[in-house]
Amino acid sequence: MIEFGAAARRQFLLESGTAFLNHGSFGAAPRIVLEGAERWRQRMEANPDLFLREILPGALRDAAGQLAQFIRAKPDDVVFVDNATAGMNAVLRALQFDADDEILATTHTYGAVRQAIRYVCDRTGARLVEADVSLPVTGENSLVTAFRACASSRTRLVVLDHISSPTGLIFPVAELAALARAQGAQVLIDGAHGPGQLDLDVPALGADWYVGNCHKWLFAPRGCGFLWSRDEAKRPLHPLAISHDYGRGFTAEFDWTGTRDFSAWLAVVDALRFVAELGAERVHAYNHELVVTAASSIAAAWQTPIDAPAAMHGSMIAIRLPPRLQDYGPPTRETARRLQSDILAKQRIVVAIMALGEALWARISGQIYNTREDYEKLLSI
């Protein structure tokens, strides 16, 4: 069994001497999974015509079936996409909205998804409504209250984050989805950080669509995400690139959108095997304890709050930056980027800096290759 901490770091290609506390942004695939992807590429290159015509269709459905089993879904309800943003766009751009309709999201909605909603609203006349999630959050009830205050008879679609990208805050999506359905709205869940960080039963959440990444917490190569859909909600969906199988159904259309490197999708099987060998519950427990303990120490040293109670997080959590770092600039995305780059250059610490409301926050991630010593470097920034 693989030991967690410094020993586990050898399973990855991460450079030495850098505290890598930002697994949440882009993930990190272990060597064994990258080797699996390379084997698929070599197999394809040995005879591209045979592979893409004869081998790929069955291999792709097998990979989707194993991923579906992992999230407790039916194989035909799951298709691959490049990433969660692509999956969210596929749903958002397939739906029809009228000028009086509203799309309900939150102030924590991922920036790229917010832009996709704005694009849809600009084209249709629908309106984006954002439930305000102010930090620190006191508990799940405050999230439910924020949604209740913004939902209306005009709400046609509710876009929920399963885990907030800026903070790692886990939303009570099943309860919120039930509220949305009671209002007559459909539900789209952005689960970019869900697979591998949470024990998922996607159909049980009560959404119409769920989109997830496999390259973050599930250890797959980058370029591997998925879209799950209820049977009744598949009809309007099409991939962003329409290709030969248009009109032939959900899996046929998404499985082939043109020639590409399919190795990241196929290697999800290797990623699932890696997670099984580690023990998913063991990973969850290690990451949660590590990141919560680190956040508590950092918050005490900085004398600033954590974004929400520890129980509302999995493997990510955000701490408000101390006043000396708030003075770095206004709480904007550009300031956050400059500060993040500055910390990396000077301290060799990879950490996500987020602009939320009137302040800058540091979002830290915990992964099996991290140790408590990694986080201690943040105390001196």
In the chain, where the domains are located: 8-21+279-380, 37-273
What is the Cα Rg of the chain in Å? 21
Give the pLDDT of residue 11. Answer: 97
Query: pLDDT at residue 274 above 90?
Result: yes
**Stated pTM of the model:** 0.97
- What DSSP state is assigned to residue 202? G
A 10 A CB-CB count for 123 gives 10
Query: pLDDT at residue 380 above 90?
Result: no
Average pLDDT value for residue range 98-125:
97
Query: pLDDT at residue 381 above 90?
Result: no
Burial 196-229 (b: 16+ CB within 10 A, else e): bbbebebbebbbbbbbbbbbbbbbbbbbbbbbbb
**Helices 268-278 and 56-70: angle between axes, nearest 10 degrees:** 30
Record: fold of 37-273: Aspartate Aminotransferase; domain 2 (3.40.640)
Q: Which amino acid appears at position 207 of this protein?
A: A
Architecture of domain 8-21+279-380: Alpha-Beta Complex (3.90)
**How many CA atoms, within 13 angstroms, populate the side-chain half-sphere of residue 343?**
24
| Sheet containing 186-191: order of strands | 78-81, 225-229, 209-213, 186-191, 155-161, 102-106, 127-131
A 10 A CB-CB count for 249 gives 12
Query: pLDDT at residue 208 above 90?
Result: yes
Mean pLDDT of the residues in the chain: 97
Query: Can you tell me the distance from the alpha carbon of 30 to that of 221, in angstroms, rounded to the nearest whole number?
Result: 9
Query: Can you tell me the distance from the alpha carbon of 278 to that of 255, in angstroms, rounded to the nearest whole number?
Result: 29
A 10 A CB-CB count for 334 gives 10
